[in-house]
Each structure stands twice: as structure tokens, then as C-alpha cells.
Amino acid sequence: MNKQGIREQVKALMNRNDFTDALANTFIDQATARIQRTLRIPPMEKTEVYTAGAVTPETLVLPADFLGVKYLYTDDSLLEFVDLGKYLATPNEIGKPTIYTRIQAALKVKPIPVLDSTITMVYYGEIPDLVDDSDETWLSVIASDLLVYGALTFAADYFVDERKASFEERFTAVYLELEEQSRLNEMGQSALRIQPAHSDY
């Protein structure tokens, strides 16, 4: 569903003559911001590949839409997240990175990567904004009702509408469905990776 469709559904469910398009757009934006604060599912995953340069090769600058790291890995192993104290206590040696920490808008890795070696980050990125009426995002396509009921909870606050609890209940139900589907998909992928201990073929 595109932005116009979501807005029209929100306005229809509120059923108020004083509910403007501008207000509805604001509530849709607020719902998007609320959702991306906590939701972490496969459609939000993105990949960034870093190549170690001659200057500060241990620093990986985070993308502008970064929400959180899922995996950080070299060509043969995952890096472990550590707190800043452990990171600082680790010697500044050159080699294959094994640990990382976050400092402001960058990740720092140790050991210091060899020049031109690569580190791959799979991360959760922000949900794209719905700007124009014809815009669609992965969220508006697979879970338009989450945006609709998220916007309605903000609208209910604004208009002091007694249906807020009902809107919140619907929002939570859809949100949990998305999380559960994501969990089941991850379990299914893990099962596919399990190899038999013995085969006669």
C-alpha cells in the first residue's frame, strides 16, 4: 500500500471532519519512527563491506541509516562485540580482527586489519520514509496495517479518542506477528544448514 492509501485508511478509521492530510502524514511518520526503534527483522538488513585503507584501518564509519549490527565478520570468522574497557586493553597489533566496539558513529576493530583486507557488516537500517503519496516501502507493502494502527495510536492521543487502547492492541498484535514470522524464518534457515552426521550415499 502506498502513502496515500495508508493515509486514507487512517482518516477513514478515525472518521473526523477535522482530521487533515497534514496531521495524518505526521502520525504516519511518528508510527514509522516508533516501529524502527525496536523492530529488527530481515527486511531491515543491509550489508556494508569495508576495505582497510592506509589511514585508520581499524575504524569502520557507520552508514547514515544505521540502527544496529547483526553480524560483523572477516572472510572466515565473526567478530565479537566487547565493551570499551576490554577493547582499550587489547594490544594494538596488526592481524585478523577478532573484536570490535562502538565509539560514536564508528566501529573500532582489533587487531588492526592488514591493508586492503575486508570486513563485512550486516546491519539493521532505518525504514525508508514515505515522502510522496505514491511511495511504498517494504513495510507499507508487507505490513501496512502496522503503520495504520501505529498512526491511529498517535491520532487517538491528539484527539483524546477513547479508542486508543483498541488501536494499540491491534498495533501490538501485528508487531508481534512480524517478530514471530522473522523468528520462524531464522529457525528454518538454521535447520536447512544442519547436515546429517552420516550418509550412505
Q: How far apart are CA 164 and CA 157, in angstroms?
A: 7
pLDDT 10s digits, 66-109:
999 999 999 999 999 999 999 999 999 999 999 999 999 999 99
**Do 150 and 121 share a structural domain?**
no
List the domain range (segments joined by +) for residue 33. 3-42+128-192
In a domain, 201, yes or no: no
pTM, rounded to two decimals: 0.85
Average pLDDT over residues 113-133: 96
117-151 burial by CB neighbour count: b if 16+ within 10 A, else e? eebebebbbebeebeeeeeebebbeebbbbbbbbb
**Do 158 and 95 share a structural domain?**
no
Number of domains into which the chain is organized: 2
In a domain, 149, yes or no: yes
